[in-house]
Chain A
Amino acid sequence: MTAVTLTERSPGRRGDAFLSVQDLHVSFSTEDGVVKAVNGLSFEVERGTTLGIVGESGSGKSVTNLAILGLHSKEHTEISGEIWYGDTELVGAPGKTLERLRGNRIAMIFQDPLTALSPYHTIGKQISEVYRKHKGASKNESRDRAIEMLQRVGIPNPKVRVDDYPHHFSGGMRQRAMIAMALVCDPDLLIADEPTTALDVTVQAQILDLLKDLQQDFGTSIILITHDLGVVARTAHNVMVMYAGRAVERGTALEVLGTPRHPYAWGLLSSIPRLSSPVDVPLKPVRGTPPSLLNLPSGCPFHPRCDYPQLAGPELCFNDRPELSPETGHGDACYLTLKQKQEIFAKIKENL
């Protein structure tokens, strides 16, 4: 692939981003109406890096990533926009194309390793069937490969454990097995949907370190979906903050977590406890509740929960939706001026 064809096809792409999502919209038709889960989302993932996607429940994080793999039910879901994986456009791609990519080039690990593995099949079978399907390997080859992968993700005694069922494994081990299953075909992109949420804290750290190690060894890109900013700080190169199906802030991990610019990002940061802060200082959650995706607020979808709409201008936040700017680098979708943001954050920072 050459740079020329790249620009012809999709002018928004940059660098060596090999996954590029452009103006993605995902909506579900339900009995209550159309749920607009993702509304015009664009982002890129660069080779060998980790993109952390953070946001509250219902901000469209998981929906976006299920859309990449085409895992939404076709009947109830409306998807528009573009998702480019290399030369392949994934929105509306035929089922066979997606089938060949899933688990092979793009793999996914899920939040709850207790339910995400089939209780009816051995760990080894569940890992090796992916390898057999995509690589055309024989039964023995794929079994050896499964053992190798289990070894790689730190399962002790993999030659024996390969024949165990998921219920013989602890939660952390199951997530390791899940990772082994995802990486068995050496994919370019690993989508990790809250991979540590269901695990206890010590196991969380182990799993995150494992992902980091594997990324270094295999050069896999990772999209890490989480609502835990600590996890992002620990693993992500780039961060995207999502709110109501849109990106409200984007930049490197240092930029977004060190000098956040969007009021929602401030809110997220001030709602996490710090070990160093005194215990009697109450945590400050983001006030209000996430907006209904059936009926999004006018203007900036965050304005009902924002403390600063008056600063930006009398009616601006209520009527017009801010776009993510600047287009590259550290950008945010807010009408406050950069100076205002810096001043406000300097004030908030003292309490963090």
Chain B
Amino acid sequence: MLRFLTRRSIGALFTLLIIAVVTFFMFFAVPGDPARLSCGKVCPPESLVLARHNLGLDHPIFVQFVQWLAGIFVGRDYPTLGHCPAPCLGYSFVNKEPVFAAIVDRLPVTISLTIGSAIIFLVFGVGTGVIAGLRQGKPLDKIASVSSLIGASVQIYFIGTLAVYFLVFQWHVVERPRYVPFTENPLEWAYGLLIPWIVLAVIFTANYTRMTRSTMVEQLSEDFVRTARAKGMSNRTVVLRFALRGTLIPIVTIFGIDLATLIGGAIITETTFSLQGIGRLSIAAVVDSDLPMLMATVVLAAAAIVVFNVIVDALYAVIDPRVRLT
């Protein structure tokens, strides 16, 4: 286990480094001058030079990258903005806000959104999948299949808008979605995020229902499931202890990917519900050519994927004893 974690951690860091390098150089390959944007509409040449210097853009790209990387570990000094302590992700080109602080500020929103909807879509998706698998070909199975197909086909900005329109403005069931920190008031936190959670879960549930159902059907016809029945195990035991176990592997796989993707920012959901999460931050960074912000959000999203991959691989070994971690 320790060897596995060490090996995978090194691999993960290497992956992140490559992603950072590629993103950094790609940024400069795209036309557009962040210094000019920072300088404003009317920008005399000397101001432009100054802006370039202040943003640290007057060094060769490679040096800039090393400065950025070093900043994360040892901090960094800026000509006008002063010292930026480690972990320093730089200052936003747009509003001179420290990037690290912005991330720390936005991340709880994204994590809250992710956790809430993940619980909903995991429970509902797997639950309906198991039931549909057990009632294969029956009305309940067909209802589940059709509704999951619908769920998979609709878009967040469509049902999200509908949900807000009806639940908030027509029927006044809930208030407008908003973010209240969990530490401030857990109830308000859940209440404010309820609609985004449900809407996001609708999109994801379908995937889990279909995946669970098909694997469940497969598992139920396995020889060892028949053995369990022949041993006199109750139906519940057969399903929960034997059939569901094999179903966990694909569920864990997609759950890992989905969680990581959501941590990287639920862009459409955040935009639909005006939530200030990582997703909107990253979109803004791209639109504004805000390099430090862009680097931070890209690396964060990549780190989420890499970390969850390691966790998923470790979980395989927990679920299936035949899997060896190397």
Contact = CB atoms under 8 A, between A and B. Distances in A.
Interface in A120-165: 120-121, 129-130, 133-134, 165
Contacts of B230: 69, 71, 102-103, 107-108, 110
B234 A117 contact: no
B131 to A, nearest CB: 16
A55 B53 CA distance: 89
A116 B221 CA distance: 11
A83 to B, nearest CB: 15
Given A99-B234, A118-B242, A129-B231, 18 more contacts: A71-B229, A100-B232, A102-B232, A103-B230, A103-B231, A103-B233, A104-B232, A108-B227, A110-B226, A110-B230, A116-B226, A116-B227, A117-B224, A118-B245, A119-B320, A120-B246, A120-B319, A130-B232
Contacts, number: 67
A181 interface: yes
Interface of B is mostly: helix
Most buried by A among B222, B232, B234, B242: B232
Interface in B234-261: 234-235, 241-242, 245-246
Contacts of B224: 115-119
A255 interface: no
Given A129-B233, A133-B233, A134-B232, A117 B322 contact: no
Contacts of A108: 227, 230
Interface residues of B, number: 21
Interface residues of A, number: 28
Most buried by B among A71, A116, A117, A133: A116
B222 A115 contact: yes
Most buried by A among B230, B233, B234, B242: B230
B227 A118 contact: yes
Shortest 6 CB-CB contacts between residues of A and residues of B: A102-B232, A103-B231, A103-B232, A115-B223, A118-B224, A108-B230
Contacts of A167: 321-322
Contacts of B321: 119-120, 165, 167
22 contacts: A71-B226, A71-B230, A99-B234, A102-B231, A102-B232, A103-B230, A108-B230, A110-B227, A112-B223, A115-B222, A117-B224, A117-B227, A118-B224, A118-B228, A118-B245, A119-B224, A119-B320, A120-B246, A120-B320, A133-B231, A134-B232, A181-B231
